[in-house]
Each structure stands twice: as structure tokens, then as C-alpha cells.
Amino acid sequence: MQPSRDIADLIALMARLRAPKDGCPWDLAQDFASIAPYALEEAAEVADAIERGDFVDLREELGDLLLQVVFHAQMARERALFDFGGIVEAITAKLIRRHPHVFGEARDLSPDEVAKVWNAIKAQEKIERAAARAAAGAPPEPEAGALAGVPSALPALVRALKLQEKASKVGFDWNDARLVIAKIREECDEMEREIEAGDKAAAAGELGDLMFALVNLARHCDIDPEAALRSTNAKFERRFAFIERALAAQGRKPQEASLAEKDALWDEAKKEEKSTKQKT
């Protein structure tokens, strides 16, 4: 097959890979559950390409993410559940329905007003889904609490943030970031006690509490914790690479230098970054 810009060709290619008699053995062995982790991985790689500003890489990563949608659509078509066209139809209808200020009569709404309209439409959709299920004789959806609707497969930092946002909407929240900082100090003290006691399981629980509190602080400061940690990861990589280059210039490797030497080079890396920022 020749490369194509037509989505229909990609759908046909996926069907060929899943052909029972002469398709790809690996592709044929997959199901919804086995493929699900790849969708999360590809979404993370899309975010990474955006973070790095690498738009050549972004095009490829978006293609990998699109493949996950096509793969799921093909497996669903094989079971007569839905197909790619049904996915497109559903999201198109949802976008039109949730944007009455663009496709309907509502006009000149502020961003906050748009968010309120969006949430009101979502609530109405939930009522309509329940009615459709009842009409079809399907069992009703389980009663949903205030924290419902946050996928368990989300990255832990993102999921913690969304859970906290939902709890905040029903009044379960601090009204001052300084109270969150006090909670963080409390969790640090509890973590230290468990470390001293040598209770690894309890320490793991306290570490989770501490990280949850840090996410809460990020939310109160209007900071995306996932983006903040990605930025710090990148900073750590840059500074550690500086250490490796400096030691390589001396004919040495990091494991051949003392911690004090590596710490000194780390400080040099920080100074160099600060100097570069000031120049720009």
C-alpha cells in the first residue's frame, strides 16, 4: 500500500491488519483492554512533543494517537458495536450541541458564561441518557456521587487535581492556600515519623497524602501540577547533563566523582541558567 492523506485508507489499513486469515498476528491478538495503555502512552508523547516545541515529532505522535482511535473503532466494528463513522458522528453532534453560542442562537457569551452553558448541557445530556436507557430496557447507571466521572486511568497527579476540583464544587475545600501549606507541613511531619519508625507501608500512605496535599496547593495557586512536574523533570535533565559534560571534559564519569563535586557542578549549572535568562 502507498502512503495516503485519506482517513479512509488508514481505516482500511487497520482492517487489513486485523484480517483473520492473513492479518498481523500481534494486531489480531489485541483487544480493548490490551490496547488501552497504548492510548495513554501516545497521549503522553503528544504532550511531550508540545512541551518540547517539536512540531515534526508532534505530527508523528498525533498519528500514533489517531491510530489508537482507528484500532478501537476496528475492533468495535468487528463486534457490530460501532465504527469510525459512528465515533465521528457522536463527537460532531456533541460539539454542535455544546456550542449554542456558535451554532445556535446564543451569542456574545463570556468564557465563564460558556462554561456554565457547557455544564448545563452536560447535565441535560445525563438526563436524556437515563431516559434512553430506560426506554431501551437497559439497567440504570449506578448512582453517581460528587466525585463521579474522573477516569481511574488518568495520571495520578491529574486525577488528584480533578477529584479536588469536584470536591471543591460541593464546598469541601480550604479557602486559603496558607491552610494547604500548613497541611503539607503536617504531612511532612507524619512522613518523618513513619520513616523513623521503619514502617514502609505507613510511609507510603503518608507520601501519598503529602503528594495529594501538594496537588491541592498547586490548584489553589492556579498551577497545573502535571505541567509543573514536567518542567522540573526537564530542568533536572538539563542540569544533570551539564554535570556529565563537565566531568566528561575531565575524562571522568558521574560515578567517578564525589557527591560534593557533583553538587558543586549542579550549582554551576544553576548559575549558567540564571545568566542565560538574564541575557535573554
CATH code (residue 26): 1.10.287.1080
* Residue 261 lies inside a defined structural domain of this protein: yes
pTM of the model as a whole: 0.67
Domain check: are 252 and 274 in the same one? Answer: yes
pLDDT for residue 165: 94
* Residue 85 lies inside a defined structural domain of this protein: yes
Collapsing DSSP to helix, strand or coil, 118 comes out as helix
- The domain total for the chain is 3
Burial class (CB in 10 A: 0-12, 13-18, 19+), 82: middle
pLDDT mean values, one per 10 residues, the chain (280 residues) = 88 96 96 92 90 93 97 97 95 92 86 89 86 82 79 87 94 94 97 96 96 97 91 94 96 96 96 83
**Residues 180 and 213 sit within 8 Å (Cβ to Cβ):** yes
pLDDT for residue 143: 67
Domain check: are 43 and 82 in the same one? Answer: yes
Q: Which of 185, 202, 223 is the last residue of a domain?
A: 223
Domain check: are 212 and 231 in the same one? Answer: no
* Residue 113 lies inside a defined structural domain of this protein: no
* Residue 150 lies inside a defined structural domain of this protein: no
pLDDT for residue 280: 67
Domain check: are 242 and 213 in the same one? Answer: no
Burial class (CB in 10 A: 0-12, 13-18, 19+), 211: middle
Domain check: are 16 and 93 in the same one? Answer: yes
* Residue 121 lies inside a defined structural domain of this protein: no
> Grid coordinates in use for 178?
496558607
Domain check: are 12 and 52 in the same one? Answer: yes
Please, what is the end-to-end C-alpha distance for the chain in angstroms? 49
**Residues 6 and 36 sit within 8 Å (Cβ to Cβ):** no
Q: Which of 48, 64, 97 is the last residue of a domain?
A: 97
Domain check: are 214 and 175 in the same one? Answer: yes
Cα(180)–Cα(171) distance, integer angstroms: 15
* Residue 147 lies inside a defined structural domain of this protein: no
Domain check: are 12 and 24 in the same one? Answer: yes
Domain check: are 195 and 271 in the same one? Answer: no
Cα(226)–Cα(157) distance, integer angstroms: 6
Instruction: Give me the residue label for grid cell 541575557.
Output: 279
Q: Which of 223, 239, 260 is the last residue of a domain?
A: 223
Domain check: are 206 and 244 in the same one? Answer: no
Structural domain harbouring 164: 156-223
* Residue 37 lies inside a defined structural domain of this protein: yes
Domain check: are 211 and 164 in the same one? Answer: yes
* Residue 169 lies inside a defined structural domain of this protein: yes
Domain check: are 25 and 87 in the same one? Answer: yes
